Amino acid sequence: MNEATSRRTLFASAGAVGAAALLAACSAEETPTSTPTTAAGGGTTPTGGTTTGSTGGTGSGGAAIAKTSDIPVGGGKIITASGVVVTQPTAGTFKAFDSMCTHQQCPLSGVANGTINCDCHFSKFSITDGSVVSPPATKALAEKTIVVDGTDIKLA
């Protein structure tokens, strides 16, 4: 009992000393750190908020990435800003695919002769379903969901 009591007392004392040391260390470290963080955060937030707000409004507000008249029947067009290639395999049917080649991630170079083409190693992909028409690529292009709204083509 006496041993246990003295151990408890010892641990309690050590704990109190340790806690006091930690508190001192924490408060000494936190005070200078929290002040600049708050100041930097306050300065950054308005700028970041404004930039993000305008970018988000344009992108997620359903802006058109292309006009239906921009996309030839039996062909397509790479929309670099949106990272997609939009095709029109048959009149009135529009498809969209990721504009990065699945072989070694080169940006696709164009749509010609009924295929979506990569000039890095000359893979060709179907404008209908993005499947590989000509290797070395072995994996189809990822399809993107689009919405045709009148004459506007939008990412869904």
Instruction: List strand residue ranges (DSSP E) for 3-83, in order.
Output: 66-67, 75-79
Nearer to ligand FES, 45 or 104 (CB): 104
- The least distance separating ligand FES from the CB of residue 125, rounded to whole angstroms, comes to 9
Q: Exposed, middle or buried by CB within 10 Å (0-12, 13-18, 19+), for 16? A: exposed
Least CB distance from residue 101 to ligand FES, whole Å? 3
Choice between 64 and 120, CB closer to ligand FES = 120
Residues engaged in binding ligand FES (CB under 6 A): 101, 103-104, 106, 118, 120-121, 123, 136-137
Q: Give the separation between CA 64 and CA 97, rounded to whole angstroms.
A: 16
* 98 within 8 A of 84, measured Cβ to Cβ: yes
CB of 134 to ligand FES, least distance (A): 9
Output 71 or 118, the one with its CB closest to ligand FES: 118
DSSP secondary structure, 60-92, as one string: HTT--SEEGGGS-TTEEEEEGGGTEEEEEEETT
Nearer to ligand FES, 137 or 153 (CB): 137
Q: How far is the CB of 120 from ligand FES (least distance, A)?
A: 4
To the nearest whole angstrom, how small is the minimum distance from the Cβ of residue 39 to ligand FES? Answer: 47
Q: Which is nearer to ligand FES, 67 or 121 (CB)?
A: 121
Cβ-based neighbours of 71, under 8 Å, separated by 6 or more: 77, 86, 87, 88, 94, 153
